[in-house]
Amino acid sequence: MKKTLLIFVGLFVFIGFSNFAFAQKEEEKKEKLFGVKFSGYVKNDFYYDTREVEGGREGHLLFWPKAANYDIEGNDINAHGSFHFLAIQTRLTGNITGPDALGAKTSAMFEGEFFGHSDPDINGFRLRHALVKLNWEKSELLTGQTWHPMFILENFPGTVSFNTGLGFQPFSRNPQIKYTFKTENFKLAATVFSERDFQSRNIFGFPSSDYIRNSKIPALNLQFNYGLTNNEAQTAFNTGFAVNFKTIRPSLTTNLGYITNETLSSLSAQVYIMRKFKPLSVKFATLYTENANEMFIPSGFAHYEILNLTKGEFSYLPTRNAIAWLDISTTGKTWQFGLFGGYNKNLGTLKDVISTPGGLGINIEHLYRLSPRVFYFNGKLQVGAELEYTVAAYGDGTFTANAIPKNAEEVANLRIILGVFYHF
C-alpha cells in the first residue's frame, strides 16, 4: 500500500512538473515572438554651393537656388559661394516583431534622425517614421506616419543629396491609414492621410497643418502597382500610377474679419516605371500636380472670383505643374555610377485669376536639375560624391492672367557634395 501511494505521489509530481515546464516553454515561445532589431547609419555630409540656395537646416536640404537680389550698384547679393559640414542625417531605425493578431502577422517600425524640426532645433532628434502593420494573406493595413503615398518606394531617385530629387519627386511624410490589396504581382492601395511635419501653405506662404484639418476632409490617395522580380537573373520591372486628392481651408476669416468657409481642392497624379537589368537600373516618372507645395513642389493658389465683396470673400484656384524625371544607375556591388535629371514647368491656373498667387516658390516659371553621382561600397562603409546642378527661372514679380510668372530669368547653383555613411 505504501509503495503504491509513493508511486501515485511521484506520478502526480512528475505530471505537475511537466505541465509547469510546458507552460514555461510556451511563455518563452511567446516572448521570442517579440523583438526589436535596430539598424541605421552614421552619415557625414560635406558640400559647397556656388550660390545662395533656398533650403532647410542651414541649406542641407536643398530646394533650388535663390532668386537674384541686387544691391545699390546692381550686383547680385546671392551670387556667392559657401560651404558646410553636417552630420545631422545620422539615423536610427527599430523594426519590431510580435505575435499574430486578428488573424494577421503584426509588425511595427519607428525611425528618427538628428535633423531637428527647424533651423533653431538643428541636431535635435525628430520622428521620421512610426507605423504599425497587419498583414493577411492578400491584404495589408498600415497605420502611422510614413512616406506620402506619392513617394513611390519602388521608384525614387538614388541621389547622394538628402533631397532625393526634391522639386521634381514628391517629398513628404504624413500620418495616415493605408489599406493594400495584393496578389503575387499586383497591388491596389487606398490611403487617407493628414499633414504634420510637411504642411500646405496659405496665400502668404505660411505653412500649417491647420489648413487641411480645418477642411474636415482628410487627403485621399489611390494607387495601382504591378511588379515582377527575378532574383536569379537580377532583373526587375515595376510600373504603376497614383492619384491624389486634397482639400484645404486656407483661412477661417477674410481680410475684413468675416468668417469664410471657402475651401480649395486640388488633384495630382503620377505615372511611373522602373526597369532593372543586371548591370543597370532605370527609373522614370511623370507628374501633374495642383497646389502640391506640401510635397516641396513650387506651387500655390490664387483668388479666382469674388463671392462676397462686402465681406471680402473669394474662391480659389490652384496653380499646376507638369513634371518629369529620369534616374539611371549601374548596379555593381563595389562601384555604382548614376545620373538624375528632372524638369518642372509651371502651368499656372486653369482659368484666369484676380490676384497674385501665393504659396512656395510661386515665382518660378520653370526648374530643372542634372546631377551625376558615384557610390563606393566596402563592407559597412559607403561613400558617395555628386555634382548637383539646379537652375530656377524666376519671373520679375508680374504674372499672366492665369498666374504664370512673366519675364523669367534663370539662376543656377552647382552643389558639390561628398557623403560618408557607416551602416549598422
The 3-class secondary structure across 380-418, one letter per residue, is CEEEEEEEEEEEEEECCCCECCCCCECCCEEEEEEEEEE
3-state SS class at 148: coil
Of the candidates 350, 364, 344, 348, the residue with the CA atom closest to the CA atom of residue 403 = 348
The reply to whether 165 falls in a domain is yes
3-state SS class at 149: coil
pLDDT given for residue 117 in this prediction = 87
Is the separation of the CB atoms in 46 and 85 below 8 Å?
A: yes
Q: Read off the DSSP letter of residue 125.
A: -
The reply to whether 248 falls in a domain is yes
- Computed over every residue of the chain, the mean pLDDT equals 93
Query: Residue 56 sits in which domain range?
Result: 39-423
The reply to whether 14 falls in a domain is no
| Interval 104-116 mean pLDDT | 96
pLDDT given for residue 23 in this prediction = 46
pLDDT given for residue 9 in this prediction = 43
pLDDT digits (tens, 9 = 90+) for 60-80: 999 999 999 999 999 999 999
pLDDT digits (tens, 9 = 90+) for 346-372: 999 999 999 999 999 999 999 999 999
In which band, very low, low, confident or very high, does the pLDDT at 85 lie, cut at 50, 70 and 90? very high
pLDDT digits (tens, 9 = 90+) for 137-160: 999 999 999 999 999 999 999 999
In which band, very low, low, confident or very high, does the pLDDT at 232 lie, cut at 50, 70 and 90? confident
pLDDT digits (tens, 9 = 90+) for 12-30: 444 444 444 444 555 555 5
What's at 223, amino acid-wise? Answer: Q
Residue 98 has pLDDT above 50, yes or no: yes
The reply to whether 27 falls in a domain is no
Distance CA 263, CA 265 (A): 7
The domain that contains 336 carries what CATH number?
Answer: 2.40.160.10
pLDDT digits (tens, 9 = 90+) for 149-192: 999 999 999 999 999 999 999 999 999 999 999 999 999 999 99
pLDDT given for residue 46 in this prediction = 98
The reply to whether 21 falls in a domain is no
Q: Identify the weakest region by mean pLDDT among 17-31, 45-59, 237-251, 367-381.
A: 17-31
Share of the chain above pLDDT 90, in %: 89
What's at 423, amino acid-wise? Answer: H
The reply to whether 65 falls in a domain is yes
* H-type alpha helices, 129-231: 210-214
The reply to whether 4 falls in a domain is no
How many independent structural domains does the chain possess? Answer: 1
CB atoms within 10 A of CB 25: 10
Contacts of 146 (CB under 8 A, 6+ apart): 129, 131, 173, 174, 176
pTM reported for the whole predicted model: 0.89
The reply to whether 5 falls in a domain is no
